[in-house]
Structure 1
Amino acid sequence: MDDLSSPTGREPALTARPREDGRAPRALVIGATGYIGGRLVPRLLAAGYDVRVLARDPARVVAFEWGSRVDVVAGDATDAAAVGRAVRDVDVLYYLVHSMSAGKGFADADLRAAETVAAAAAAASVGRIVYLGGLHPDGVKLSPHLRSRVEVGEVFLHSGVPSLVLQAGVVIGSGSASFEMVRHLTEVLPYMPAPKWVRNRIQPIAVRDVLHYLLGAARVPADVNRAVDIGGPDVLRYGQMMNGYAVEAGLHQRPIAALPVLTPRLASHWVNLVTPIPRSIARPLVESLQNECVMKDHDVDALIPPPEDGLTAYRAAVRLALGRLETDSIETSWQDAEVLGVPSDPLPSDPDWAGRVVFTDVREATTSAPPDALWRVIEGIGGENGWYSSPLLWAIRGWMDRLVGGIGLARGRRSKARLGVGDALDFWRVEAIEPGSFLRLRAEMKVPGLAWLELRASPDAAGSRYDQRAVFFPLGLAGRLYWLAVLPFHGFIFAGMASRIAAAAEAEVAEPQKLSEATPSP
């Protein structure tokens, strides 16, 4: 999905300017293991910056692909000694931390951290501070979290260090808490009873455009010290955002009813009930949506020109977040795994509840047969050979598929012994094959989602090991209910399949041996 060798496709105009002594400029990122920071660091490296990070837990930095390429200072933003070490010889400081706690005292803690960083940056003569704040209207009562972000921005603007506060609204990208709330609410609820704020206007921005502005912020003139709004090209109501997501995700648009009785507290409980987003995260997200968040002006354009190919429209940003565009995309919660091929693992910076819902059924078995014998069984699966588990259950599944207009099991297979990419295999299609070791099948039966079946043979001390994984990406609520409905049958189908394939490999080895023993010697 995402090409880190050319992280956004937009960097040439935003490459680092060398210092007067010819050395690369140094960037300090505070919040490097967060959602934005984890995506900004590799782009700073690609743009030519020498990057240092301040991390409470340096072990988390090591988990990133870029972890070995940055200088790590242990500590957090409230540790004056650690911050003092981190800001030495720094040209630009990115401050990308903000508490999402709903508990008391978070605003004071955020303020103390900002004041500690601002004081250290001024003492070390840091060239610039860049802070990612929140888009907000003027002259109205703000939620506690938005108000805290404004206060933090003011600390930097009065620090004596030239500062640029970029005020962004809802960030669209897989792993972004705001986007994940849109994703999960839309996918789970066919009908959406919602607070009246679903009618509020919002100006979302793609994460790739946020990174564009963050990179550009390092190069604004030294006398710039101000806050600017940033946003994408679309101004939408929250309900329109949800239905825009539904269209891009292949779902029906959701009827939405705005209910005046849902307070932020009740709404956050509701979000926590129907989505995996913790209430401590849901509540500040909901509270921040009480006011319309639209750019007041476009002053940012005079400081950081928009990308040459333009800002990303909302639905295009959703497609990127869903991995639907294969070029110039930005890494989100899912990465293509070279061997497995289907999206698998989130970035280390993403929360556990981020990313699309994925259901899996994993089985394994060992056999005394060598890997080549096991592979012959795997490659011969389906068609007349069957699926090495209850023939009746497989037949019923085929009949069910035919009843809803699918292809059923009637296609069989082209060759009894060999498979190639693109071959039809009953109601599957061969999507990838590594002869001797790996087979991935993509389901072509009628299901509310996307499904794969992966079969692998590998050497083992006892002979060989068989690994089997079924992967299902549910489409909306129907997909989740479908998985729950078939889950009881997986114990019969997939468990039996794994053990019988291993046994079939042993039988294939034993049969030639028996034949050899029965043949008289010349």
Structure 2
Amino acid sequence: MSGRRVLVTGATGYIGGRLAPRLLDAGHSVRVLARDPGRLRDVSWSDAVEIVQGDLEVPGDVRRAVEGMEVVYHLVHAMAAGGDFSAAELAQARNVGAAARAAGVRRIVYLSGLHPEGERLSKHLASRVAVGEALLACGVPTLVLEAGIVIGSGSASFEMIRHLTEVLPYMPAPRWVRNLVQPIAVRDVLHYLVAAATVPDEVHGAFDIGGPDVLRYGQTMNGYAVEAGLPQRPIAPLPVLTPWLASQWVNLVTPVPRAIAMPLIGSLLHDCVVAEHRIDAIIAPPEEGLTGYRRAVQLAIARERAGDIESSWRSASAAGAPSDPLPSDPGWSGSTVYEDARERETAASPEAVWRVVEAIGGERGWYSVPLLWSIRGIADRLVGGVGLRRGRRDPRRLRVGDTVDWWRVERVERGRMLRLRAEMKVPGRAWIEFAVEPAIDASNGSRYRQRAIFLPSGLAGRLYWWSLVPAHHVIFEMMASRIVAVAEEEPA
């Protein structure tokens, strides 16, 4: 079947930002509606889609976006705005439904949430159900896919699991941590969404989708702990912790905003598991099978494990895997990353600065407070680390894989960038990166940039970083100044 003309609303969101490029790969022509098209500026696929600026609450904007489309994906949720988000979501859905019917759209696709039948639902789930019902009633063939917790870096539900598990060695939690959930990997959600564009026109209704594992919510936290290399967390159910109090707690100990945490926590008051498998007759599961929870977590944290942490000074290319973070993801998504960044303008040439950078460590030292470096090296040796004794292979040149004291060369772009990965004993993973480039006017001098990066492991990692902030300020400030000063002293 030839590609269809597709509109994606919510392309700056978590699911929409991953769906748009996959629809392009499937041969469809894609248009996206965004209130702020600037948020799509840095994604790799923005030049391949038609971007329409508009607001779903303005009927004229919606009609303009829907005109000429065959399929409309409605992937916008308003809970991040707080307040009466359910009224806003319902108004948006009615605008989409009316515009789609008037434009002769062949299919609407909506991603809703798994929910039990016959129970009083949380505000969040009730809003999802109401939106789905409004779209199903609009007169256009509609496919509502009802999914549980979506597992992928950047998903609000997954980020809440990630940060709660990493920050808290002991988890006081409400009774509903024992409720059942059926997580689904983001790659599997996208599989169903892409296939939904070409299902037969007579398909109309709501269908459950979910991964192969049914878990208690507490088990999702400890499953994450295992994959992240953390001890499993004791969880103590507390009968007095209401959803409101729990959302305040989540807001306090994680970067997930309270406006998002509260509706998500409200949804956990119910068992949310797949009740029927009718979707299998419409869309077959992925050929390799649905992704288990632990495997989905592995994929979500694989980017950080590989050290690909957006740590180059140049803009990274957009992520290719659906579990990877995107430029349009919210700032609180992804693993916690601490950094200390310094920058200097200097009259020294880029070549002179690079010679100093490439000779760092070993006999040359680290250009800052030798006593502190020695103490840190001794401490590392005492706990079984490598300390400062390894030195370096060549006093002037480095190549990938070389050791430099307790660091290992991870990347070299000769004359431009050097990245070292720490092999000392720390509760997390650490890098230090040096970059050299011509001055802005490119006529004289250069710009030196330096960044230390730390990915903490659990609460111990966070405490480690914050305890060293004063020392880091002295060490890294002096390092940047001394490297530039040494380069300026070099003869031309």
Please tell me the TM-score bracket, short chain as reference: over 0.9
1:453 matched to 2:435? The reply is: no
1:134–1:168 CA contact under 8 A, matched in 2: yes
Distance 1:315 1:444 in 2: 27
Q: Which residue of 2 aligns with 1:310?
A: 289
1:190–1:477 CA contact under 8 A, matched in 2: yes
Aligned 1:270-349 pairs, distance under 5 A: 270-323=249-302, 346-349=325-328
Return closer, same or farther for 1:337/1:49 CA change in 2, 3 Å cut-off: farther
The Cα shift of 1:341 comes to 8.4
**Unmatched 5+ residue regions in structure 2?**
none
The Cα shift of 1:437 comes to 1.9
1:133 matched to 2:115? The reply is: no
| Alpha-carbon displacement from aligned partner over 1:448-486 (angstroms, at most 9, x marks no partner) | 111011112222254222211111111111110000111
Q: Which residue of 1 aligns with 2:446?
A: 464
Amino acid at match of 2:24: L
1:404 matched to 2:383? The reply is: yes
**Unmatched 5+ residue regions in structure 1?**
1-16, 19-23, 328-332, 511-522
Distance 2:316 2:45 in 1: 22
Percentage identity across paired residues of the two chains: 63
**Equivalent position SS for 2:490:** helix
Amino acid at match of 1:184: H
| Alpha-carbon displacement from aligned partner over 1:381-407 (angstroms, at most 9, x marks no partner) | 111111111110110010110111111
TM-score, normalised by the number of residues in structure 1? 0.89
The Cα shift of 1:197 comes to 0.8
1:431 matched to 2:379? The reply is: no
Q: Which has the larger radius of gyration?
A: 1
Amino acid at match of 2:476: F
Distance 1:462 1:58 in 2: 37
Amino acid at match of 1:470: A
Which of 503, 517, 520 is 2:485 aligned to? 503
The Cα shift of 1:440 comes to 0.8
**Equivalent position SS for 1:27:** strand
Q: Which residue of 2 aligns with 1:184?
A: 163
The Cα shift of 1:103 comes to 4.7
1:388–1:496 CA contact under 8 A, matched in 2: yes
Amino acid at match of 1:486: L
Aligned 1:57-68 pairs, distance under 5 A: 57-68=36-47
Q: Which residue of 2 aligns with 1:39?
A: 18
Return closer, same or farther for 1:301/1:446 CA change in 2, 3 Å cut-off: same
2:174–2:241 CA contact under 8 A, matched in 1: yes
**Equivalent position SS for 2:409:** strand
Aligned 1:149-168 pairs, distance under 5 A: 149-168=128-147
Which of 242, 253, 269 is 1:263 aligned to? 242
| Alpha-carbon displacement from aligned partner over 1:76-108 (angstroms, at most 9, x marks no partner) | 222111211222221111000122158553222
Which of 460, 467, 470 is 1:478 aligned to? 460
Distance 1:488 1:248 in 2: 32
Amino acid at match of 2:72: L
| Alpha-carbon displacement from aligned partner over 1:124-167 (angstroms, at most 9, x marks no partner) | 11000000001001011100111111111111112211110000
Distance 1:354 1:304 in 2: 30
**Equivalent position SS for 1:392:** helix
Distance 2:125 2:63 in 1: 28
Q: How many residues align?
A: 484
1:145 matched to 2:124? The reply is: yes
| Alpha-carbon displacement from aligned partner over 1:348-396 (angstroms, at most 9, x marks no partner) | 3211111111111111223322222221111111111111111101100
1:334–1:355 CA contact under 8 A, matched in 2: no
Distance 2:227 2:79 in 1: 29
Amino acid at match of 1:369: A
2:43–2:318 CA contact under 8 A, matched in 1: no
| Alpha-carbon displacement from aligned partner over 1:326-357 (angstroms, at most 9, x marks no partner) | 99xxxxx9668596989999523211111111
1:366–1:462 CA contact under 8 A, matched in 2: no
**Higher mean Cα deviation, 306-315 or 347-356?**
347-356
What's the C-alpha RMSD, in Å, of the aligned pairs?
Answer: 2.1
Distance 1:228 1:200 in 2: 22
1:361 matched to 2:340? The reply is: yes
Distance 1:130 1:343 in 2: 25
Aligned 1:209-248 pairs, distance under 5 A: 209-248=188-227
Q: Which residue of 2 aligns with 1:91?
A: 70
Amino acid at match of 2:223: G
The Cα shift of 1:253 comes to 0.5
The Cα shift of 1:65 comes to 2.2
Return closer, same or farther for 1:404/1:336 CA change in 2, 3 Å cut-off: closer
Aligned 1:202-213 pairs, distance under 5 A: 202-213=181-192
Amino acid at match of 1:146: L
1:494 matched to 2:476? The reply is: yes
Distance 1:318 1:415 in 2: 40
The Cα shift of 1:53 comes to 1.5
The Cα shift of 1:208 comes to 0.7
| Alpha-carbon displacement from aligned partner over 1:265-292 (angstroms, at most 9, x marks no partner) | 1111111111111111110010000000
